[in-house]
Amino acid sequence: MTYVVGYGPRNDDRSALELAFQFARSHPEPVVAVSVVPQGWGTPLAGGVDREYEEWAAGEGQRSAELAVADFAHHPRLPAEAVWVTGRSVPATLIEQATARDAALIVVGSAEEAEPGRVRLTSKTDRLVHSSPVPVAIAPRSYRTTSGITRVTIGFRDDDASWSLVDRVAGIARDSSARMRLITFLVDPARRPVTTDVSHAQAQVIDAWTTQANAAQAEAVAHLQSSGFTDDEVEHGISAAPDWSTAVSSVGWTDGDVLVVGSSSTHRLAQVFLGSSASKILRNAPVPVIVVPGAGT
């Protein structure tokens, strides 16, 4: 297996490589930096123009591969390879490369406009996470770490997709010798600050959400323990807040954490649909996020 990294020509942020090597430190597999450059028209009418374009693209690819190799120097003794390929679509080409190389993950960086330490999808990575048959890991902008993967946090919703996600992520955690944490985010924009009154009906709804979440998490923890996880290897909690930023940030994050979200179980294209809750969690995450495709229906 491999970790396939989307490494763009003239890349000015090595965050995706940093994240891929972090996975490689925890579960050793080769890192393959793949630079996708534009493909020529391939028509007789293009003639010399097409050849010049292909030569330019080849030069871009070669330079990008050389930059990736230079970045490998930050991670000595970890196996890595840099390649460049041509393609009409960057997401489709990365998926082809991941399939051909038996990738455990496709790893990409965040958009250039993202704040340092934050995850933001580009139009290309957005298409990638909605179409990839393998998990896609997204590094925050300017991400750097010397840690391995020490804890894997799941956004747990107590639905079919979340239960499937628990079993799949358990494998990732075992491979990385990482702890697991289940967090249920209860976000109610109508909630008032604690210094003001909360209606009786609203308080009942919040209490019902919390009770249901506690019961589901206890069941999930018992399931993980029955499959071999110890008490020390499983954490769980509920984060209730009036907004997603507060809910996500308040659970506490440390170096070595990654967050995992899955697809929406209510959408008929569950395998390729990133639900609204997962999207909001992703946008507010201060750590790398892994998007795991669902099984579909």
What is the C-alpha to C-alpha distance for residues 92 and 240, in angstroms, rounded to an integer?
A: 38
pLDDT at site 258: 97
All structural domains of the chain, each given as residue ranges with its CATH number in brackets, are 2-138 (3.40.50.620), 151-292 (3.40.50.620)
pLDDT at site 296: 42
What are the phi and psi torsion angles at 201 (to 5°)?
-65, -40
CA 147 remoteness from chain centre: 17
Average pLDDT over residues 172-178: 89
Euclidean distance between the first and final Cα of the chain, in Å? 27
Nearest residue to 188 (alpha-carbon basis) of 170, 169, 201: 201
pLDDT at site 199: 62
pLDDT at site 23: 96
Confidence of residue 267 (pLDDT cuts 50, 70, 90): very low
pLDDT tens, position by position, 2-32 = 999 999 866 567 999 999 999 999 999 999 9
pLDDT at site 111: 92
What is the C-alpha to C-alpha distance for residues 222 and 227, in angstroms, rounded to an integer?
A: 9
Q: What is the mean pLDDT of the chain?
A: 85
What is the C-alpha to C-alpha distance for residues 248 and 240, in angstroms, rounded to an integer?
A: 9
Residue type for position 281: I
Q: Which of 166-180, 197-211, 238-252, 276-290 has the lowest mean pLDDT?
A: 197-211
Q: Residue 235 to residues 219, 225, 295: CA-CA distances in angstroms?
A: 13, 11, 26
pLDDT at site 266: 38
Residue type for position 246: T
Residue bearing the bigger pLDDT, 210 or 236: 236
What is the C-alpha to C-alpha distance for residues 150 and 167, in angstroms, rounded to an integer?
A: 18
pLDDT at site 200: 61
pLDDT at site 40: 64
Check whether 245 has a pLDDT greater than 70. Answer: yes
Confidence of residue 39 (pLDDT cuts 50, 70, 90): confident
DSSP string, the chain: -EEEEE--TT----HHHHHHHHHHHHS---EEEEEEEEPP---TTTHHHHHHHHHHHHHHHHHHHHHHHHHHTTSTTS-EEEEEEEES-HHHHHHHHHHHTTEEEEEE---TTSPTT-----HHHHHHHTT-SS-EEEPPTT--------EEEEE--SSHHHHHHHHHHHHHHHHHT-EEEEEEEEE-TTPPPTTS---HHHHHHHHHHHHHHHHHHHHHHHHHHHTT--GGGEEEEEEEESSHHHHHHTT---TTEEEEEE--TTSTTTTT---HHHHHHHHH-SS-EEEEP----
Average pLDDT over residues 274-281: 74
pLDDT tens, position by position, 92-129 = 999 999 999 999 999 999 999 899 999 999 999 999 99
Confidence of residue 270 (pLDDT cuts 50, 70, 90): very low
Check whether 207 has a pLDDT greater than 80. Answer: no
pLDDT tens, position by position, 126-159 = 999 989 999 999 999 999 999 999 999 998 887 8
Nearest residue to 33 (alpha-carbon basis) of 75, 146, 131: 75
pLDDT tens, position by position, 44-102 = 555 566 778 888 889 999 999 999 999 999 999 999 999 999 999 999 999 999 999 99
What is the C-alpha to C-alpha distance for residues 4 and 33, in angstroms, rounded to an integer?
A: 6
Nearest residue to 281 (alpha-carbon basis) of 192, 154, 172: 154
User: Which two three-digit tokens encode residue 159?
Assistant: 């639905």
